Amino acid sequence: MGSVVTYHTIYTSTEFWMNHMPSVAMTSKHETFAFPLFSPRRELGRTGFIASVLGAGDLADRSLPLETCVATLRRAIDAGLNVVDTAPGYEDGYSEQIVGQAIKGVRERLFIVSKIDDLLAPVAPQIEDSLRRLELEYTDAFVFHGLSDMTTLEKLMAPGGGFDQLADCIKAGKTRFGGISSHNPDVLKVAIEAGLCDIAMFPVGPFVDERYITETLPLAKARGVGSICFKTFGAGKLLGDTVGYNQPLQLRPRGKLSSGGVNDAVAVLPRLTVQECLHYTLTLDPDVALLGLSFPNEQDQAFAAAQMFRPLTAEAMVDIRTRAVEARQGKGPCWWNPDPEA
């Protein structure tokens, strides 16, 4: 398929906000969309599932009530996002609880991904624990989480190792597909070329190691592996402080930074905009851009940017990538790159 993203309708910025956002932005944060903003647009690798261009990443935060987190995720689902990511290690199972509650009544139209966090421990008990928290009989995929060194990969690939155990769980109906998430282009290359991945999760965005873009993404496409890509906003580090995401950065769980759900700050930090970051990723055209949409205001900013997407020119891509280097300065390590301090 081509790189042009298809939605219900494409609006200018003003038209979008006039036609859609007032109906949700001026209501309670628990309000949802009257109709989906996004439609399924592309098969996710060889899974047969037709995925939305945006996916809902983890938003678990134990400082917020369960019902608030559930409502925020359900709002994204009601907007048409149909790929949902979680993991047992996200807030010690809280994320999986949130997902389990948020997908009630709509589970069959979604692609649910959870993870195997303890890479060298038996796989089946971990999957059973996740399914219990999710209140599901199966997920659409389980992936080995943060598999980023060759030694661990080799152990998982050994006879009777993690990949064989995951295959047994697939045969038992506990999940439909397998794969890895990784912060290492070399590990991704070996795993994909070995045929171990139905889906691969890896960074794509303005500030990621170039090999994810020039090597991993093309390889995944060539091998029919679904690409679910994160770090469009660099864990929030690329977004400074204006309307929506671009607020004075507030610490979120697991080192992420966020707007905190507030819309009324003055810009002072070097930054990219939500639109620049998201259009950069969408121009590179992964199957799914997985976004951490932790608050309704962040959802609204991302959805508006996606509705206005047109592929960027090569010059615009270079400009955004260059300014991303400045925008991430002084905001801590970028752990998704092989050199986190670069």
For residues 242 and 46, the model is more confident at: 46
What is the C-alpha to C-alpha distance for residues 336 and 219, in angstroms, rounded to an integer?
19
Q: Quote the pLDDT of residue 270.
A: 78
| Measured CA distances, 330 to 119, 231, 249, 271 (Å) | 32, 17, 12, 12
Residue 267: band (very low, low, confident or very high) from pLDDT cuts 50, 70, 90: low
Considering the chain, what is the average pLDDT of its residues? 86
Q: Quote the pLDDT of residue 264.
A: 52
pLDDT digits (tens, 9 = 90+) for 231-260: 999 988 898 743 334 444 455 555 444 445
pTM of the model: 0.85
Q: Quote the pLDDT of residue 7.
A: 29
Q: Quote the pLDDT of residue 268.
A: 66
Residue-range domains of the chain with CATH: 31-327 (3.20.20.100)
Residue 342: band (very low, low, confident or very high) from pLDDT cuts 50, 70, 90: confident
Closest CA to 191 of 153, 165, 143, 229: 153
pLDDT digits (tens, 9 = 90+) for 54-98: 999 988 999 999 999 999 999 999 999 999 999 999 999 999 999
Q: Quote the pLDDT of residue 112.
A: 98
Q: Would you mind telling me the total number of residues written for the chain in this entry?
A: 342
DSSP state of 320: H
DSSP states of 69-101? HHHHHHHHHHTT--EEE--TTTTTTHHHHHHHH
